[in-house]
Structure 1
Amino acid sequence: MTRVAAIDCGTNSVRLLIADIAPGEDGGTLTDVDRRMEIVRLGEGVDRTGRLSPAALERTFAAMRRYAALIERHAAGDGPVKTRVVATSATRDAANRADFVDGVVEIFGVVPEVISGDEEAQLSFTGATGELAGLRPARPYLVADIGGGSTEFVLGTDSADAARSVDIGCVRMTERHFKDADPPSPQQISNAVADIDAALARVREAVPVDEARTLVGLAGSVTTVAGIALDLPEYQPSRIHLSRITATQVHEVTRRLLHGTRAERAEFGVMHPGRVDVIGAGALILDRIMREYGFGAVVVSEHDILDGIAWSLV
């Protein structure tokens, strides 16, 4: 048994998984010790300025300091917890990413890995598909990880065979098309659809998406859409994890989110306050993936790149 700590710093949130991993002939088991998420909006303004703002960095570092304290608290008796910090889209795009790196080293004592979109996709596939064997969904899988700044696509059966990352994410699309819109106009939605569809066409150039038989959706936009579709009174990971949401349900939830005001979106019991402003764009990305690639349903996973990072430590 190895105790590990995985930190995923994305465009919208920073997340922590402390877990015990026991390798085995069947792939082993991963048992949660602590799993946390905070909305820090690290990528706020990066699409426009190309830089991480001082305020966004301080929000992120504050969350990380809390995570460092948790890691220390959960340290096993035989030594420090093996820790890996991975940073994704916003940090890749920022001219001042050295400021981020220096802050992380000070807090955790490890250098954060600013990974490529393809590396991000590989880790997402590992984390998302580990529990699917028991459900016996048709393979190959297309894993779609909708983040704040980018969306990663990876196709595979037992391991990743093809991957592509494109710069469409809930924060980036909101800032490009829906900023200060409450709700967005039909023209703004049309412009966002064109932007998303152009990116999906680029994915087809690298990933044979038509070979996929099951769509697996990851990250907060997808899980929030699933929670709304399931009419949950509050966020319930156990109900959302491995649920199957139809394309009709996704389209209806997307319509409600895009046509509702900020106040109306905030009324959904499953909605994290930090997602209220960007959930419409995130839902739209999922909706367009299903329409453009012809999927009638999406299997929703609560396990994603964070779990993949944890597995990489053993």
Structure 2
Amino acid sequence: MRVAAIDCGTNTLRLFVGTLDADGFLRELDRRLTFVGLGEGVDATGRFAPDALRRAFRACEQYAEIIADLDCSRTRFVATSATRDAVNREEFFAGVRARMGIEPEVISGVEESELSFAGAVNGIRCPRNPVLVMDSGGGSTELVRGTAACCQDSVTAVERGVSIDVGSRRLRERILHGDPPTAGEVGEARELVRHQLDGAGLDLGGIGSFIGVAGTVTSMTALALRLRRYDRARVHGAAMGAAAVHRVAERLLTSTVADITCWGPVQPQRAEVLCAGALIVDEVVRRVGTAELIASEADILDGVALGLLSDGDGRGPAVR
């Protein structure tokens, strides 16, 4: 059976098509990412802009063709932070229904974190417990602590997941206006992120494995590896120590968008907000302490697909 998962985030619209292999792990058949910037301006206006909707609808049309060509039995479309905040989200949903023939869903930050956890621990085969998964998105950041089935005596289970209302695009548009940001802007942004983490109510100590998913972490990892061109195979499973995370974050926060784009592995649309995402990741890493940050290309899309394959509605637990 083939299933399709679509993740509508603040910056990107992404598609995953897959099935299960003989060992119960996901086998990828197709994976696409399109920068649509759906959340552009939402933090200030509370609405999706017409141009952002047009970009998203074009991507939906392309994805609908791929899903049909690959003969998927089940599909789930999940929308996260920007859609939770937009007052005209029904306009967006109507456009999705018309182009894809499926009902999109706004999921909570908690469900988003749990799906990211399921996908990440399926993609990183043998993490040490307890596991912390961080999904650093454009509108929000999800943190979830739990265990992974890394040996016969353990099972995959979520202990607690939280969502903090700060992400790369939201922080960039709200505070980090400079190119590069000023020292004052960086200080104000760090204060906001620390305040959000203080109120999250999640223990970030004693972590055995720290996994980061989504574009901020994978882009930072590509820069730490000094890649001139993004290489998904090299990024997946690569680890950054705390010192490396701090260095990359500092470099991003003191460079212009044009400079970041010229480095090679970061797409221009990601470069616009990457400094803000890096600041958030850096603040989380400071609290986690000694555990390396492992980059995973498996994320919420994989978690949605696992749910579709295990129970048919995309909400089931990871199979491994």
What is the TM-score of this pair, normalised by structure 2?
0.91
Residue aligning to 1:278: 273
Match of 1:13 in 2: 12
Q: Contact 2:132–2:207 at 8 Å: present in 1 too?
A: yes
Say if 2:112 is the partner of 1:116: no
Report the secondary structure of 2:297's partner residue. coil
Contact 1:4 1:313 in 2 (8 A): yes
Which moved further from structure 2: 263-272 or 143-152?
Answer: 263-272
Quick check: 1:12–1:39 contact (8 Å CA) kept in 2? yes
Letter of the 1:128 partner, please give it.
A
Aligned equivalent of 1:202: 199
Match of 2:182 in 1: 185
Alpha-carbon distance in structure 1 between the residues aligned to 2:129 and 2:214? 21
Residues 73-222 of structure 1: pairs in structure 2 closer than 5 A: 73-75=69-71, 80-134=72-126, 137-157=127-147, 158-179=156-177, 181-203=178-200, 205=201, 207-222=202-217
Give the secondary-structure state (helix, strand or coil) at the position aligned to 2:308.
coil
Gaps of 5+ in 2: 148-155, 310-320
Q: 1:7 to 1:275 in 2, by over 3 A?
A: same
> What percentage of residue pairs aligned between the two structures are identical?
44
Are 2:247 and 1:252 equivalent residues in the alignment? yes
- Mapped partners of 2:45, 2:245: distance in 1: 33
Distance 2:116 2:26 in 1: 15
Structure 1 equivalent of residue 152 of structure 2: none
1:307 is displaced (CA, Å) by 0.4
> 1:146-166, CA deviations, whole angstroms, 9 ceiling, x for partnerless residues?
000000010000221101001
Residue 187 (structure 1) shift: 0.1
Question: Is the contact made by 2:242 and 2:290 (CA closer than 8 Å) also made in structure 1?
Answer: yes
Does the 8 Å CA contact 1:216/1:298 hold for their aligned counterparts?
yes
* Equivalent in 280, 286, 294 of residue 289 of structure 2: 294
Q: Which amino acid aligns with 2:161?
A: A
> Aligned equivalents of 1:118 and 1:173: distance in 2?
20
| Maintained 8 Å contact 1:197/1:292 | no
Q: Which runs of 5 or more residues in structure 1 are unaligned?
A: none
Deviations 1:49-93, CA, capped at 9 Å, x for gaps:
111111111111111111111111111xxxx53111000000001
Q: Is the 8 A contact 2:211 2:295 kept in 1?
A: yes
State the Cα deviation string for residues 110-155 of structure 1 (Å, max 9, x = none). 1111000000011000000013343xx3211110000000000100
SS of alignment partner, residue 232 of structure 1: coil
The 2-side partners of 1:182 and 1:236 are apart by: 27
What's 2:298 paired with?
303
Matches of 2:52 and 2:123 in 1, distance apart? 35
Give, in whole Å, the separation in 2 of the partners of 1:117 and 1:3.
Answer: 27
Residue 274 (structure 1) shift = 1.1
Offset of 1:211 from its aligned partner? 3.9
Select which of 49, 53, 60 maps to 1:64: 60
Aligned-partner Cα distance in 1 for 2:73–2:281: 36
- Does the CA-based 8 Å contact 1:218-1:301 persist in structure 2? yes
Query: Offset at 1:296?
Result: 4.4
What is the aligned length? 301
TM-score (norm 1): 0.93
SS at match of 1:44: coil
